[in-house]
Amino acid sequence: MLTNREDKQTKQMPELFSELRQSVVHLPKVIRNASGISIYGKRIKSIIYTMDVALIANNDADAILAVYPWTPNTRILSAISQVAQVPIFAGIGGGLTSGKRSARLGTFAEEHGAYGVVLNGPTSVETIEAVNDTVDIPIIYTVVNDKRDLGKLIEAGVDIFNVAGGKDTAKLVRWIRESYPTFPIMASGGKTDEQIMETINAGANAITVTAYGQTEKYFQSKMEEYRQKTED
């Protein structure tokens, strides 16, 4: 199926869908206003945050943010890498999982094609340095407040800041931009187009969208459609 979509500049972008692949999860179009971050020649603007492998295989995001609250497991990353059709940013700990263990996980992620490794808020400078000495892909550090010395993190090897400050995300992005006008920033965008634009205007280069419950929501709508067809 071929459809034409016309954007605000009256440019037309042909979209191709097959009969069996027309129900992908679409991220908000407003994200296209972001500048993007170029990694190995691939421009990344939209990032979907999910560990649902079915959703990972059926979305239109530019990249996958694969982080979760449990101890990082190589089998989980292996499963994600088999279904993802776009770059993966893989979580490798930084809290309880740290030091050489995080570095080994980073090596595994790189070998499985990850475009970047993600370290969480409590990560020590020593762990960042250990990972930096081991991997040859970008290190992404998750900024959750304004308490860390970002300069020291950059010196240790951080390449991208991932801002996840809840309602204060845009504020944190602006705080980073005051000191680092050109440093790569990805950030959670919020639930509305207005919130996403606020984060972009604050200085975020790429936007992360959380996809809680998307698979269940879509499946619920399909089941309702099937019920109606059965009744007919």
Q: Within a domain: residue 3?
A: no
Locate 76 and state its tokens: 């989980």
Closest-CA residue to 180 (of 153, 142, 207): 153
In a domain, 95, yes or no: yes
User: Structure pTM?
Assistant: 0.87
Q: Where are the alpha helices (DSSP H) in 115-213?
A: 125-132, 150-156, 169-179, 193-202
Query: Is 178 inside a domain boundary?
Result: yes
d(CA 143, CA 172): 8
CATH of the domain at 32: 3.20.20.70
**Is 184 part of a structural domain of the chain?**
yes
Tell me which residue has tokens 């605000």.
8
In 34-184, the DSSP E strands lie at: 37-39, 42-44, 46-49, 63-66, 88-91, 116-119, 139-143, 160-163
The total number of structural domains in the chain stands at 1
In a domain, 186, yes or no: yes
pLDDT tens for the 232 residues of the chain, in order: 444 444 555 567 787 777 666 678 889 999 999 999 999 999 999 999 999 998 999 999 999 999 998 888 899 999 999 999 999 999 999 888 889 999 999 999 999 999 999 999 999 999 999 999 999 999 999 999 999 999 999 999 999 999 999 999 999 999 999 999 999 999 999 889 999 999 999 999 999 999 866 656 655 665 676 567 766 5
**Alpha-carbon gap, residue 63 to 15, rounded angstroms:** 19
Classify residue 226: in a domain, yes or no.
Answer: no
Range of the domain at 179: 25-212
Size of the chain in residues: 232
Whether 6 maps to a domain, the answer reads no
Contacts of 174 (CB under 8 A, 6+ apart): 202, 203
Q: Is residue 20 part of a domain?
A: no
Dist. CA 179–CA 165, nearest whole Å:
18
